[in-house]
């Protein structure tokens, strides 16, 4: 990760250098060459932990020319089933899926909810029946990120912005029961319009 110079960088670099157990290595005035050959220049490079799909756990042969585990993750249908006719009873959800969606815990949990419903429907269906399965939208209808007790950022999901852009949002709509720094926020100010804030897409 290349981090641009900022006023606190020197202090932060000293802290990181003084505590090497938290950082594998640091470099200043560094050049970073990516695996694709692109070169990045930065004032400061920190080698740190990220996340990576565990490709080795998905070792299923594909029934098509396209691999089940591609460059962007596991191919899945909107029902969260693996997108391969050979595996109708295997589901995947979360960041490991190759869906064009945001990588947030709430989205992963919603995908898991859809997968659980579909697994239950499949198990409870008569053996010759094909149950009607739920589909997960790319984005749940609303994702709220509380910025302070007076502000939030809202991301509206698939095709609902037009029908909701004139609605006033009040505390009852958001159902916020958050605890921040020991302060319980059961309500937010009563009148919000999505146009008060730039929509986050």
Residue 37: domain span: 2-47
Phi, psi for 151 (deg, rounded to 5): -140, 145
Report the candidate in 16, 46, 15 with the shortest Cα–Cα distance to residue 28. 46
**Is residue 132 in some structural domain?**
no
Report the candidate in 152, 155, 159, 112 with the shortest Cα–Cα distance to residue 136. 112
Report the candidate in 176, 99, 171, 179 with the shortest Cα–Cα distance to residue 140. 99
**Is residue 18 in some structural domain?**
yes
Highest mean pLDDT among 9-13, 29-33, 187-191: 29-33
- Distance, in Å, from the CA atom of 2 to the CA atom of 85, rounded to the nearest integer, reads 42
74 and 42 belong to one structural domain: no
**Is residue 8 in some structural domain?**
yes
42 and 61 belong to one structural domain: no
Report the candidate in 88, 89, 130, 134 with the shortest Cα–Cα distance to residue 111. 134
How many domains are there within the chain? 3
Least reliable range by pLDDT among 14-28, 40-54, 91-105, 145-159: 14-28
Task: At 144, list the tokens.
Answer: 């709220």
Residues 6+ apart with CB under 8 A from 96: 53, 54, 73, 74
The DSSP symbol for 27 reads E
pTM above 0.85, yes or no: no
pLDDT of residue 21: 39
86 and 112 belong to one structural domain: yes
Residues above pLDDT 90, as percent of the chain: 1
- Chain centroid to CA 158: 16
**Is residue 71 in some structural domain?**
yes
pLDDT of residue 16: 42
Helix/strand/coil for 113: helix
43 and 59 belong to one structural domain: no
pLDDT of residue 108: 81
60 and 118 belong to one structural domain: yes
- Distance, in Å, from the CA atom of 198 to the CA atom of 201, rounded to the nearest integer, reads 9
Render pLDDT for 185-195 as a digit per residue (tens, 0 to 9).
333 333 333 33
The percent of the chain in helix, strand and coil, each rounded to the nearest 5, is 25, 25, 50
Picking from 90, 124, 158, the residue at the C-terminal end of a domain is 124
- Distance, in Å, from the CA atom of 151 to the CA atom of 201, rounded to the nearest integer, reads 17
pLDDT band of 62, cuts 50, 70, 90: confident
pLDDT of residue 133: 82
pLDDT of 26 above 70: no
**Is residue 135 in some structural domain?**
no
Render pLDDT for 129-181 as a digit per residue (tens, 0 to 9).
777 787 776 655 555 666 666 666 665 554 444 444 545 544 444 443 333 33
**Is residue 130 in some structural domain?**
no
Report the candidate in 147, 148, 195, 200 with the shortest Cα–Cα distance to residue 169. 195
């Amino acid at each position: 990760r290349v981090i641009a110079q900022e006023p606190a960088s020197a202090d932060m670099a000293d802290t990181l250098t003084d505590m090497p157990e938290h950082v594998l290595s640091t470099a200043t005035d560094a050049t970073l060459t990516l695996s694709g050959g692109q070169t990045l220049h930065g004032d400061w490079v920190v080698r740190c932990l990220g996340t990576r799909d565990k490709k080795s756990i998905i070792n299923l042969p594909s029934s098509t020319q396209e691999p089940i585990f591609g460059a962007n993750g596991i191919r899945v249908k909107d029902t969260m089933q693996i997108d391969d006719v050979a595996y109708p009873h295997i589901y995947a959800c979360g960041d490991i899926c190759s869906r064009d969606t945001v990588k947030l815990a709430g989205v992963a949990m919603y995908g898991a909810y859809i997968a659980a419903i579909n697994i239950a429907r499949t198990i409870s269906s008569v053996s010759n029946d094909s149950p009607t399965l739920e589909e997960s939208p790319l984005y749940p209808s609303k994702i709220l990120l509380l910025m302070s007790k007076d502000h939030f950022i809202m991301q509206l999901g698939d095709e609902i912005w037009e029908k909701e852009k004139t609605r006033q949002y009040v505390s009852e709509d958001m159902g916020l029961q958050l605890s921040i720094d020991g302060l319980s926020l059961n309500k937010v100010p009563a009148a919000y319009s999505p146009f008060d804030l730039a929509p986050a897409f």
